[in-house]
Amino acid sequence: MAGRWIQTAIKRPGALTRKARAAGMSVSAFARKVLAGGRKKYGRTWYQAHFYYNILRKLPKPSRAARVRGARKAARTRARRRR
């Protein structure tokens, strides 16, 4: 149980993602919007967004080499799309 505490903490898996897609936004952008709007306005969604950002802070940060590789890969993908 100790290693699976996040799975037990998430009561409605995928709910925040579904709400973000329905709003036509990324999950991060939607969570920022919800957190800015306040707890009274959004209710349960505010708590889901708050939990999302708390989990993001606990995740290990990618190394500098991984960030550079990711940026290069994104640039190649954008170049392919322009063709």
Domain that holds residue 63: 2-82
pLDDT digits (tens, 9 = 90+) for 1-58: 556 777 777 888 889 999 999 999 999 899 999 999 988 888 899 999 998 888 877 6
Banded pLDDT at 59 (limits 50, 70, 90): low
H or E, element range at 30: helix 27-37
Q: Which residues of 13-31 are buried (b: 16+ CB within 10 A; e: fewer)?
A: eeebeebbeeeeeebeebb
**pTM: predicted TM-score of the whole model, two decimal places:** 0.62
